[in-house]
Structure 1
Amino acid sequence: MHVLILGGTAEARRLAELLDRTAGLRLTSSLAGRVAGPRALPGGTRVGGFGGAEGLTAWLREHAVDAVVDATHPFAAAMSFHAARAAAAARIPLLALRRPGWAPVPGDRWHEADSLEEAARALPGLGRRVFLTTGRMGLAAFAGLDELWFLVRSVDAPEPPYPSRTEVLLDRGPFTLDGERDLLRRHRIDVVVTKDSGGAATAPKLTAAREARLPVVVVRRPPAPRGVPVVPDPEGAARWVRERLAAGPPSHR
């Protein structure tokens, strides 16, 4: 049984580890290729796009894929919709592995936004020194805010356009609470911007911001495909795959 994991997240890696060397199972993890030098994964690995839903459908058929787990980042909306269309066209089961989003707690000063552009419009009224933790993609939304200073944290160096007054911090989570406290204090941060990525790896920044009574602009998650079953953790996804394996692969058309 051939399972394709659409990955690039810690949950996708954990799922591949849980399923590694399962008898009768062949794994392929697909990475978008946005991070240079990704760490090795169990099973097979492919890097790069498929060419939209049609390209993914063709790939599923060509490689006799029996099931797909969409374990992409919660903000990789286009890939999730492509996966839903392709799985339906290829007539194979699809599961979404989605870590739960964050929720505000007493003491948080959250300002929710529906997009990076909306987050950028909110910033001038909230602070002057911004900790921008939305990754290296989409920084163009903040490029016109020349009166603000930005600390941008990402795994790989961003490419322009981005704000003129920017310091780049190359780092990869998980991050500690003490480290985030020190970062906010050392850089005199007075407002934080983040996507609602969820998960524990980057959540300490929210606690540190709450303790410092800083406003946090939180970009809401984009819509996800309807009708796709969802599990919140790799263990649930592994059970789903093993159930498909026990039932036998679907016939390919």
Structure 2
Amino acid sequence: MSPQSPLSPPAHVLVLGGTTEARELAASLAARPGVRVTTSLAGRVSRPLEQAGEVRTGGFGGAEGLADWLREHAVDALVDATHPFAAGITAHAARAAAATGVPAVVLRRPGWRPGPGDDWHPVDSLAEAAALVPTLGRRVFLTTGRLGLAAFAHLDGPHFLLRSVEPPEPPLPARAEVLLARGPFTVEGEKALLREHRIDVLVTKDSGGAATAAKLVAARHLGLPVVVVRRPPLPEGVTAVPDVAAALARLELG
């Protein structure tokens, strides 16, 4: 998705949100005279962090519903700043932008990269991660979020420490302990948690960003293997910008 025409105030920008970058972008846009910003949240978090500008909650009804919303609310630009694993929303946004001619930008924080001393095991899906886990450890720190945990529900051998912002719904692994917490986390805090629960393998998605990266450093310091689920690919023809400044520049508001 790329802008097809310059965006100049007055303008209405729709931000598909739920990430730190989306909140930062909304705050920057809301502070600009003549720019109206609406952030759309999926509604999966019961107490979302405060957002600048207007906020709507809930789905659009697929790409066609989103296209209708863009037309009805006179949206001048669309920014997809959803989670890197929200592949369905990104696909719908690309189709809606193409159908309406609304200039669109994808904002994605860069993914994590392994460094010296890391023992990473990249996989392409949660199912592949679940198949690999029993070969690497017996006490698993599972930080893939509350959605998709069913991929691990059939594993009755390992003990799982599940961390998420919201309580997960079944099915869950038989031997599971749930920890509700929201980042950012510190390296020392993560090391203490890993030691306390005698964790011997970490499982995570490649979400990127600093808020939850401390667990990777902690795992490196403790010599633990890390199963990393790769990001889904962007739709064909879609490219992403890495930060808020680049998104503003693409919107010609930088």
TM range (shorter): over 0.9
Q: Shift in Å at residue 46 of structure 1? A: 0.4
Other-structure match for 1:251: none
TM-score, normalised via structure 2 length: 0.94
Matches within 5 A, 1:108-187: 108-187=118-197
Alignment match, 2:64: 54
What's the offset of the Cα at 1:227? 2.6
CA contact (8 A) 2:200 2:224 kept: yes
Give the Cα separation in 2 of the matches to 1:91 and 1:61: 10
Q: Secondary structure at the match of 2:163?
A: strand
Q: Paired residue for 1:89?
A: 99
Q: Deviations over 1:197-241 (max 9, x none)?
A: 011111110010011110100000001123334211112212333
Q: 2-side partners of 1:165 and 1:36: how far apart?
A: 26
1:9 paired with 2:23, answer: no
Asked whether the equivalents of residues 29 and 36 of structure 2 are also in contact (C-alpha less than 8 Å), the reply is no
- 2:208 & 2:50 partners in 1: Cα distance? 24
TM-score by length of 1: 0.94
Q: Does 1:233 align with 2:243?
A: yes
Matched residue type, 2:86 = A
Alignment partner of 2:49 out of 39, 47, 50: 39
**Per-residue deviation, 1:4:** 0.2
AA aligned to 2:80 is D
In structure 1, the gaps of 5 or more residues are 247-253
Q: 1:28 corresponds to which residue?
A: 38
1:103 matched to 2:117? The reply is: no
After TM superposition, the runs of 4+ consecutive aligned structure 1 residues lying more than 3 A away are none
Distance 1:234 1:172 in 2: 22
Q: Is the Cα contact below 8 Å between 1:108 and 1:210 reproduced in 2?
A: yes
AA at the equivalent of 1:91: G
Counterparts of 2:127 and 2:189, CA distance in 1: 28
Distance 2:93 2:171 in 1: 30
Q: Distance in 1 between matches of 2:26 and 2:92?
A: 21
Q: 203, 211, 231: which is aligned to 1:221?
A: 231
Q: What is the root-mean-square deviation in Å for CA atoms of aligned residues?
A: 1.1
Residue aligning to 1:191? 201
The structural deviation recorded for 1:21 is 2.8
**Partner SS for 2:133:** helix
- Per the TM alignment, residue 158 of structure 1 is displaced from its structure 2 partner at its CA by 0.2
> Counterpart of 1:73?
83
Instruction: Please give the alpha-carbon distance, in whole angstroms, between the structure 2 residues aligned to 1:47 and 1:98.
Output: 21
Gaps of 5+ in 2: 1-10
| Structure 1 match to 2:7 | none
